[in-house]
């Protein structure tokens, strides 16, 4: 989920950059030197997971999975997402430099939010785990869409209908991210519970 270059106004771009830098600094502070490799390689996994291609009927979409990254990393997800987005722009030119800050906020803020909202429910029972994962996946995309909409709306009030259209097209993706995140979290809890952090 990206906003392309050249769309947003100066105020929105700088607000995004400032929030992203602050968030990244906070995230980096929470990573100590023993965890930094873990965060880095999970960022690689997040990057690769975003290449996974899923069918929805005749169309296809790429996974986003910022919800899972948020659940696994909390605040550390911010620098991890910044890393992944920067590498994406270097390799594929999705987005460039000026919108990077805003894009980090769009992807990372929901990730951190979801961490605090849903992590406490993981591992209580297998059903609860799945649904906590489901809503973590769904909400992270929903929040991302809302942030994207706000960014456009703050740039120019005329973007209102455009924002609405984007949010509506993302509804199927929210559901699919929910399903995938639900199964994925159940999988992790069964196979490798150490990867799930202690309750916040």
11's CB contacts (< 8 A; 6+ apart) are 154
| Nearest of 168, 141, 175 to residue 70 by alpha carbon | 141
Among 24, 66, 140, 144, binds another protein (CB under 8 A): 24
* Site string (144-183) toward another protein, x via CB under 8 A: ------------x-xx-xx--x----------x--xxxxx
- Regarding 125 and contact with another protein (CB under 8 A), the answer is no
Specify the stretch interacting with another protein by CB under 8 A; choose among 33-41, 110-118, 119-127, 141-149. Answer: 33-41
Pick the closest to residue 140 from 92, 198, 180 (CA basis).
180
Query: Which of 18, 22, 40, 120 is in the footprint of another protein by CB under 8 A?
Result: 40
| Contact window for another protein (CB under 8 A) among 77-85, 108-116, 118-126, 142-150 | 77-85
């Amino acid at each position: 989920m990206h906003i392309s270059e050249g769309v947003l106004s100066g105020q929105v771009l700088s607000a995004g950059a400032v929030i992203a830098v602050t968030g990244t600094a906070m995230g980096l502070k929470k990573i100590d030197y023993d965890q930094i490799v873990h965060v880095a390689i999970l960022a690689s996994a997040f990057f690769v997971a975003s290449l996974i291609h899923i069918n929805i009927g005749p169309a296809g979409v790429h996974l986003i999975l910022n919800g899972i990254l948020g659940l696994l990393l909390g605040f550390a997800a911010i620098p991890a997402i910044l890393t992944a987005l920067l590498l994406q722009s270097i390799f594929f030119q999705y987005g460039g430099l000026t919108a990077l800050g805003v894009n980090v906020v769009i992807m990372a803020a929901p990730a951190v939010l979801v961490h605090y909202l849903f992590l406490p429910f993981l591992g209580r029972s297998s059903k609860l785990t799945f649904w906590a994962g489901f809503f973590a996946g769904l909400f992270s995309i929903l929040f991302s869409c809302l942030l994207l909409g706000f960014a456009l709306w703050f740039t120019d009030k005329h973007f209102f209908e455009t924002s609405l259209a984007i949010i509506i097209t993302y509804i199927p993706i929210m559901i699919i991210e929910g399903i995938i995140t639900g199964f994925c979290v159940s999988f992790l809890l069964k196979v490798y519970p150490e990867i799930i952090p202690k309750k916040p």
